[in-house]
Structure 1
Amino acid sequence: MRTKAFASQADLEEKKVSFVQLSPNAYAYTAEGDPNTGVIVGDDAVMVIDTQATPVMAQDVVRRIREVTDKPIKYVVLSHYHAVRVLGASGYDPEHIVASRDTYDLIVERGEQDKASEIGRFPRLFRAAESVPEGLTWPTMTFEGRMSIWLGKVEVQLLQLGRGHTKGDTVAWLPQQRVLFSGDLVEFDATPYAGDAYFRDWPQTLDKLAQLDPVALVPGRGAALTTREQVSRGLAGTRAFISDVHELVQAGAKAGKDLKAVYRDVVAQLRPRYGNWVIFDHCMPFDVTRCYDEVTQYPDPRIWTAERDRQMWAALEG
């Protein structure tokens, strides 16, 4: 049997970018399943939600913003700590970088390891990695639970509604226009990465997102969702995937199967339903490993290092 290329190292195809207006103030920068960026153009300033992976890649977001406004980009919001979401922050030259306190703590605890791990897994997503300043992206403002930032008369609520993709997940919510920027709590036709997830909590967190009743939603990956029906599909699809992985891994662990046996069973059972989603083969080893950890002996995610990545991949896909 031929060993699969590690993670997404063989994924070299550039994706087509779209910049879609969702409301008078909200825009979605999407790229066919690559990480998305949200943009809110307020009365006096611009807010960017998730940065792209490098400052060079951020420049394409800035170019799109400048097609619609010349207002200063004052705020960058980090939905969570992953490198692909935060390392482009300096490209916007913002006045403030905002994150939850839990996200700040995760950067302290594991930011360096995550940076090396992610760049090794998916080099295409870190185009011009040399443009990333030395060190990590550090928030200049943190909050716990919720905070509002006013862009003139446009209120942006930053909400921590529960653990899911990470323990620090933050969503940005425009209550006046009912537009939600979910980060990687929600994906659309893209496989959720759950290597740092809380499988037991994630479905309930998605229920809280649904209770906001968004009319439009910018997921972490996939096309912008522009109707209530699409939003409902995005929430339901992500919830079903997380619940299915958790249920199957838990059953395998209870039956006494080791991680490799559980992994093969879960992938075989989920491929017919989810195998056409973007990055399915990339995510599944990380997702099943984290879920197996959670249902056996590690309630909190272990730190992924470049070395641990490769050891896991060799064990499951070798």
Structure 2
Amino acid sequence: MTKQFASQADLEEKKTSFIKLSDNAYAYTAEGDPNSGVIIGDDGVMVIDTTATPVMAQALIKHIREITDLPIKYVVLSHYHAVRVLGASAYFEEGAQQIIASRGTYEMIVERGAQDMQSEIERFPRLFAGVESVPGLTWPTMVFEKEMTVFMGKLEVKLMHIGMGHTKGDTIAWIPSQKICFSGDLVEYDAAAYTGDAQLEEWPATLEALRALQPQKLVPGRGPALMNPTEVNAGIDYTKDFVTTLLQSAKEAVAAGKSLKEAMAHARSKMDPKFSQVFIYEHCLPFDVTRAVDEASGIKHPRIWTAERDKEMWHALQD
């Protein structure tokens, strides 16, 4: 039986929610689709992750405009993936002055942004509605190494690269006074973690560094907003379990000399009982296993995914 490639069969629109976390912070979630975050300061607005296209960004902008007329000064990229960043141009009409990313994210855009853009558009047709409105790759105008602080009037927001995980450049947005975190895809909940460009060995330690901040609320990359410390810890634990189970299964497969297809079957024996019911699992698992086997085999820097490589791998593992 042939499974339809990636998320091409996922055509059902998701219900979006705009959830108030505090007087300054909001979560934009969509039933397992990629989340965005909004921070409203005294003199402007920050958006964390832009949605996939300028057309799709209009729905988030409409929510923002229902609560404030302040300019959207800052766009933050939690990492480089196209589904997170290609809507950025919509915010320039709303006052955006800076697109901020970590050094690692910038380097990933340079190295593989064009290939990733083509790859993701073909994987997620529903999430790229209005793709013709995308003017090209989204490039940061400001890059930081480990941490930078933005004062939005009196409100302090820290942008931090606390370690590698989902990618080598993951960035969190942190409001210290309110202990609210926007984690990007470092944390997922009730959804599969996509690990095709991950640093799996480092990911658990990065999650513990995030936990050490003791967030009271957290907006994950996918899944519902986590509204109290118990839910936050559950989200961190869930993600940690996903990535450690995946990497351990790959290490076992490599040690046993299994082929990639055999490694996929071995990973399923460990992963399916825990995660087969969660959103985007069947899409992610072939990419996840391929990357995990690479890392277990000593390929530290993720290989570049192209639209052609996507399909070749998919049909080898999912047919």
Query: Given the two structures, how large is their TM-score scaled by the length of structure 2?
Result: 0.98
Residue 10, structure 1, aligned to residue 9, structure 2: yes
Amino acid at match of 1:17: T
Letter in 1 for 2:120: E
Matched, 1:189 2:196: no
- What does residue 91 of structure 1 align with? 90
> 1:195 and 1:132 mapped to 2: Cα distance?
24
CA contact (8 A) 2:101 2:142 kept: yes
Deviation of the 1:73 alpha carbon = 0.2
Deviation at 1:102, TM superposition (A): 1.1
Q: For 1:275 and 1:313, locate their aligned partners in 2 and report how far apart those are by CA, in whole Å.
A: 17
For 2:24, the equivalent position in structure 1 comes to 25
List gaps (5 residues or longer) in structure 2: none
The structural deviation recorded for 1:268 is 3.1
Which digits, 9 at most, give the CA deviation of each residue in 1:107-133, with x for residues without a partner?
011000000000111111101101111
Distance 2:78 2:152 in 1: 18
Q: Distance in 1 between matches of 2:25 and 2:246?
A: 33
Aligned match of 1:119 = 121
Q: How does 1:102-251 map to 2 (within 5 A)?
A: 102-133=104-135, 135-251=136-252
By how many angstroms is 1:314 displaced?
1.2
Does the 8 Å contact 2:261/2:317 carry over to 1?
yes
Please state how far the C-alpha of 1:276 moved relative to its aligned partner: 1.1
- Give the Cα–Cα distance (whole angstroms) in 2 for the partners of residues 91 and 267 of structure 1: 40
Q: Indicate whether 1:294 and 2:288 are aligned.
A: no
The number of equivalent residue pairs is 316
**CA displacement 1:69-122 (0-9 Å, x = unmatched):** 110000000000000000000111111100001111110110000000001111
**1:264 Cα deviation from its structure 2 partner:** 1.2
SS of 1:74's partner is strand
**Structure 1 residue 238, shift from structure 2 partner:** 0.3
More deviation, 259-268/62-71: 259-268
How far off is 1:24 after superposition?
1.7
Cα distance in 2 for residues equivalent to 1:267 and 1:52:
31
In structure 2, what is the Cα distance between the partners aligned to 1:67 and 1:190? 29
Q: Give the secondary-structure state (helix, strand or coil) at the position aligned to 1:276.
A: coil
* Secondary structure of the corresponding residue to residue 217 of structure 1: strand
Which amino acid is the alignment partner of residue 92 of structure 1?
Y
1:233 aligns to what SS in structure 2?
A: helix
Where 1:273 maps in the other structure, the secondary structure is: helix
Kindly, what percent of the aligned residue pairs are identical?
Answer: 59
Match of 2:79 in 1: 80
Larger displacement relative to structure 2 (172-181 or 289-298): 289-298
Cα offset, 1:229, TM superposition: 0.5
Runs of 5+ unmatched residues, structure 1 = none
| TM-score of the aligned structures, taking structure 1 as reference length | 0.98
Deviation of 1:25 after TM superposition, in Å, equals 0.5
**Quick check: 2:245–2:270 contact (8 Å CA) kept in 1?**
no
Question: Secondary structure, in 3 states, of the residue corresponding to 2:315?
Answer: helix
TM-aligned CA deviation for residue 43 of structure 1: 0.5
Q: Deviations over 1:137-193 (max 9, x none)?
A: 000000000000110000110000100000000000000000000000000101000
**Structure 1 residue 297, shift from structure 2 partner:** 3.3
SS at match of 1:139: coil
Q: Does 1:60 align with 2:63?
A: no
Distance (whole Å) between structure 1 residues aligned to residue 5 and residue 11 of structure 2: 13
What is the CA RMSD across the aligned residues, in angstroms? 0.6
Q: Distance in 2 between matches of 1:155 and 1:211?
A: 19
Which residue is 1:260 aligned to? Answer: 261
CA distance in 1, matches of 2:68, 2:277: 37
Counterpart of 2:283 in structure 1: which amino acid?
H
Moved over 3 A (4+): none
Rounded to whole Å, the distance in 1 between the matches of 2:30 and 2:173 is: 20
Q: Is the Cα–Cα contact under 8 Å of residues 158 and 174 in structure 2 kept in the other structure?
A: yes
Aligned to 1:71, what secondary structure does the other structure show?
Answer: coil
Secondary structure at the counterpart of residue 68 of structure 1? coil
Q: Partners of 2:270 and 2:242 in 1: how far apart?
A: 12
Q: What residue is the counterpart of 2:68 in the other structure?
A: 69
